[in-house]
Amino acid sequence: MMTSAEIRQLFMDFFRNKGHEIVPSAPIVVKNDPTLLFTNAGMNQFKDYFLGNKKAPFPRVADTQKCLRVSGKHNDLEEVGVDTYHHTMFEMLGNWSFGDYFKKEAIAWSWELLTEVYKIPKDRLYVTYFQGDATENLAKDEEAFNEWSKFVAPDRILPGNKKDNFWEMGDTGPCGPCSEIHVDCRTDEERKQQSGAELVNNDHPQVIEIWNNVFMQFNRIWNNEKGGLKAFTEWQEKNKGEEAKELRGKKITELTKLESLPAKHVDTGMGFERLVRVLQGKQSNYDSDVFTGTLAVIEQITNKKYDPKATPGTIADWHQAVAFRVLADHIRAISFTIADGQLPSSTGAGYVIRRILRRAVRYYYTYLDYKQPLLHQLVPVLATQFKTVFPELQQQQDFVAKVIKEEEESFLRTLEKGLKKIDEIIASTKNKTINGSAAFELYDTYGFPIDLTRLIARENNLEVDEKGFDAEMQQQKDRARAATAISAEDWVVLSENGSTSFVGYDHTQAETKVV
The residues that touch ligand ATP, with contacts defined as CB under 6 A, are: 41, 69, 76, 86-87, 90, 92, 209-212, 269-271, 273-274
CB of 65 to ligand ATP, least distance (A): 10
Q: Treating both helix axes as pointing N-terminal to C-terminal, what angle do 450-459 and 436-446 enclose, rounded to 10 degrees?
A: 120
Nearest to 169 by CA among 87, 285, 265: 265
CB of 216 to ligand ATP, least distance (A): 13
Q: Which residues of 270-288 are buried (b: 16+ CB within 10 A; e: fewer)?
A: bbbbbbbbbbbebbbbbbb
CB of 269 to ligand ATP, least distance (A): 4
CB 265 within 8 A of CB 97: yes
Q: Distance between CA 11 and CA 93 in Å, rounded?
A: 8
Residues that bind Mg ion (CB under 5 A): 209, 212
Taking CB within 5 to 8 Å according to partner kind, which of ligand ATP, Mg ion, none is near residue 210?
A: ligand ATP
Taking CB within 5 to 8 Å according to partner kind, which of Mg ion, ligand ATP, none is near residue 211?
A: ligand ATP
Nearest to 451 by CA among 322, 383, 387, 363: 363
CB of 123 to ligand ATP, least distance (A): 20
**Comparison of 268 and 377: residue with beta carbon closer to ligand ATP:** 268
**Comparison of 290 and 349: residue with beta carbon closer to ligand ATP:** 290
Taking CB within 5 to 8 Å according to partner kind, which of Mg ion, ligand ATP, none is near residue 186?
A: none
**Comparison of 86 and 354: residue with beta carbon closer to ligand ATP:** 86
CB of 164 to Mg ion, least distance (A): 5
Taking CB within 5 to 8 Å according to partner kind, which of ligand ATP, Mg ion, none is near residue 325?
A: none
Q: Distance between CA 500 and CA 102 in Å, rounded?
A: 41
**Comparison of 208 and 401: residue with beta carbon closer to Mg ion:** 208
Taking CB within 5 to 8 Å according to partner kind, which of ligand ATP, Mg ion, none is near residue 92?
A: ligand ATP
What is the distance of C-alpha 416 from the center of its chain? 29
CB 346 within 8 A of CB 509: yes
Taking CB within 5 to 8 Å according to partner kind, which of Mg ion, ligand ATP, none is near residue 466?
A: none
CB of 491 to Mg ion, least distance (A): 29
Residue 447 carries which DSSP code? -
**Comparison of 109 and 167: residue with beta carbon closer to Mg ion:** 167
Q: Distance between CA 478 and CA 496 in Å, rounded?
A: 40
**Comparison of 329 and 441: residue with beta carbon closer to ligand ATP:** 329
**Comparison of 44 and 212: residue with beta carbon closer to Mg ion:** 212
> 3-class DSSP state for residue 186?
coil
CB of 275 to Mg ion, least distance (A): 14
**Comparison of 332 and 358: residue with beta carbon closer to ligand ATP:** 332
CB of 329 to Mg ion, least distance (A): 15
21: β partners: 61
92: β partners: 65, 271
**Comparison of 209 and 408: residue with beta carbon closer to Mg ion:** 209
Q: Distance between CA 97 and CA 267 in Å, rounded?
A: 7
DSSP letter for each residue of 57-123: SSSEEEEEEEEE-EETTEE-GGGBTTBSS--SEEEEEEEEEESS--HHHHHHHHHHIIIIIS---GG
Residue whose C-beta lies closest to ligand ATP: 271
CB of 394 to ligand ATP, least distance (A): 23
